[in-house]
Amino acid sequence: MKRLTCALIMLCTVICAFCISASAKDANEGGRSTGEYIIKESGDSYTLSFADGSSSVSADTLTECFSLLPSEATVILENIRTDKPPKLPEGKYTLVGALSVTEGIFTVPEGCALTFDSLTLDFSDSSGSYMRIKGGSVMLRDSRLLGSQSGAVLLDYLSSSELTVYSGEITSESDLAAVRAEVGTFCALGGEIVNTKGSAVSCSASLLLAGSPKISGTGYDIVTDRPLTLSAGGAAYSSTEELCVMLSEVFRVGTLTEVLYSSDSERAQAVRIFDREGREYGLTHFASSPYSDEKNFSAVYLPYRVTYYGKNGVFRTEEVLSGEILSAPTAPEIKGYSHSGYYTDKDSSHAYSFGEPVTSDLSLFAGYRLKPPTLKISSYLADYNGASHTLAPDVLTHTLLEEGGFFGYRWYKDGRVVSYDESLELCRHSDSGVYSLEVTFYYSS
């Protein structure tokens, strides 16, 4: 059973200090007393120190100290070192000073909101310690969070987990990211997040960047599987530092992948985007999209490319996404020719159906055929009188006739070919019958 004794000392400065002798067991001391700790109160601030001058304290002692504080307080930690971090109660606490953790995970539970204000939270002497935000929230202002080989911060468990960096630094030298945001929201408005061995940030949660934070990793600065938002709280991302982001997927041709939400397309261009295989992709800015409700975003836009060829080469290119259906464009006009449709080969052997969805890059060739000649021939009725009568077209012309074209003729009588000449001379009674003329225009371009 714990034995608590209190000594109350009133000072003229209205500073109250109370000493509490704690018999909480320290695993490293074989159950011996940890001695006395002192909490000095000044307004809503509480300074934590130890009567024997020691800075090393057990997790149980720190936990008991926090349990004695009001649910909203500023706690000044005077270079405290602990083997394991305390269990934090619900409440709002501003932490100032310095705290070193040599073992275990510093957990911020649901209902606990911490503000680090000029605090140094040091895990660097540990191989596996870090801060775990498990439903609670943490804000950094002019503070230092020094990570271990396991990184510096993990957001997980609940979507209410939040980390906001206003100023200060989060550093680590770890194969794991300095900040791992698996759920919740990570917002960087300033400060520095640096990892000299791996990525600075890995994120499956909401990631918001605004102001001018410096995010620097080895290999990639940020590894994420969700789009980044380059604004927060009405402020836009304004950093001029190059930011290398790996989106952990492989971009597919025929797709539009939203990567950054930002109304400032110039800022978005400062972000370099890579896929998980290390290939870099350019970004296209969209004020709005016909494919989603999102607005003001930049995307890796890898559409299928449709190239249209006419007689003189490419006359149109078009970009479409997988599954879209094309509309046939108007083909270039060619004198003396009519457009016969689009084909998948130059020889116009395989017609393309515009009712089918696009599933690959396409090259489509405009087909043409010579226009038929203009031919007019009148019915001819004559009585046989022994004279010769000429049967010929009244009008026969073509727009390419003066450019080397020529006509071919085929006369039929009662369905049988009787002549290949331009006209027929009829003079005998046996010439009576039904005549028809077939004219073919020949032209070599």
For 222-269, the pLDDT digits (tens) are 999 999 999 998 888 998 889 999 999 889 999 999 999 988 777 777
For 70-86, the pLDDT digits (tens) are 999 999 998 888 888 99
For 283-337, the pLDDT digits (tens) are 999 988 877 788 889 999 999 999 999 989 999 999 999 999 999 999 999 988 8
Check whether 118 has a pLDDT greater than 90: yes
Torsion of CA 397, 400, 403, 409, to 10 degrees: -50
Q: Are 304-370 and 374-442 in the same CATH fold?
A: yes
Q: Could you tell me which residues are beta bridge partners of residue 37? A: 20, 50
Q: Rounded CA gap, 132 and 184, in Å?
A: 12
**Structural domain boundaries in the chain:** 1-87, 104-302, 304-370, 374-442
CATH architecture designation of domain 304-370:
Sandwich (2.60)
From 34-48, 97-111, 278-292, 392-406, the region with the lowest mean pLDDT: 34-48
Q: Quote the pLDDT of residue 119.
A: 97
Check whether 409 has a pLDDT greater than 60: yes
**CATH code for 374-442?**
2.60.40
Q: Quote the pLDDT of residue 120.
A: 96
For 199-229, the pLDDT digits (tens) are 999 999 999 999 999 999 999 999 999 999 9
